[in-house]
Amino acid sequence: MMKIPYFEVDAFASKPFHGNPAGVCPLKTWLSDVTMQSIAAENNLSETAFFVPRGEEYELRWFAPAMEIDLCGHATLASAFILFTELGANGNAVRFHSKSGPLVVARNDAVLTLDFPSRPPAPCVVPDALIRGLGKAPVQALKARDYFAIYAKADDVWSLKPDFAVLGTLDEKVIVTAPGIDCDFVSRFFAPTAGVPEDPVTGSAHCTLIPYWSERLGKTKLFARQISKRGGELFCELAGDRVLIGGKAVLYSRGEIEIDDTPAQTR
C-alpha cells in the first residue's frame, strides 16, 4: 500500500468554512490518471491538485470529481500555500508547469497572488440551454473558455436558481456576473459538466472576469466577490495578457491517503 500526504485548504478565505476547499496531494512521482481521478471523485471537492517536483519548480495537475481540468485557480493557490507553510518552500514565489503553461504564485505576507493567462470573452452564439438553465435571460452573453453571462445588478446574480440538469447539457461551464455594490464586480460559477454544480470561488473564471471588467470600468486594479453560499474575496489586476489574482488561504486538515496504485501512465 502507498501512503500519500493529503491536505485540505480553504482558498480565497481568511478563516475556515469560507472560500473554496481544495484537496492537495504532494507526490514524488505521478500516479496513474485513473488513480488521481478516483482520489478526486472520492474527495468530492471541486478540485484536487497533484504536484511533483521538477528541479526547484513543480508540475501541477487538477482533477474535478468527473474530469481533469485545464486550469484551476483556488487549487493552485492551495498548492502554493502548502508548499510555503507545510513543505518549506524557499523564497517568495513558486513556479508551476501546467497544461495552461507556466503559473507563478507570489507570497506577500498572508496574501498569495496567482499569475494566470488572460482570457477575454468574445461574442458567441448563445445556446438556448444557457438561457433555460439560468432561468433568467442575461443582458448579454459572451464566451471565452466558459460561457459568460452578464446581468444588470448583483441581486440578479444572487437570486439565480439554475437548472443544473439543463446547464449540464452545455459544452462548457458558465460564469455569471454583474456590477458590485461594495466591490467592483460579483460573480458565480456553475460547472455541472465537471461534476460541480456551483463552485464556491473560482480563480480561473477571473481570467475572463478581470479583462472584461477592467475594460468596462476603465481600471486595471479591481476588488471582486464571488457570491456563492460560502463566498470569497479576490484582489485582481490586469497586467497585459496576464491577470493577477490575490487571496488568502487557511489549512483545514492534514493527513494521509492510503491506496494501491497501478503504474503511472505517461502524460
Active site amino acids = 47
DSSP lists the bridge partners of residue 96 as 58, 103
Amino acid at 247: G
With cell 507570497, the residue in question is 107
Helix (H, G, I), strand (E, B) or coil at 55: coil
With cell 486550469, the residue in question is 71
Residues 168, 45: Cα–Cα separation, whole Å = 18
Helix (H, G, I), strand (E, B) or coil at 52: strand
The helix (run of H) or strand (run of E) holding residue 155 is helix 154-158
C-alpha cell recorded at residue 113: 497572488
User: Which whole-number Å values give the CA distances from 229 to 20, 105, 189, in the listed order?
Assistant: 10, 26, 12
Residues 129, 151: Cα–Cα separation, whole Å = 17
C-alpha cell recorded at residue 131: 438561457
Amino acid at 253: S
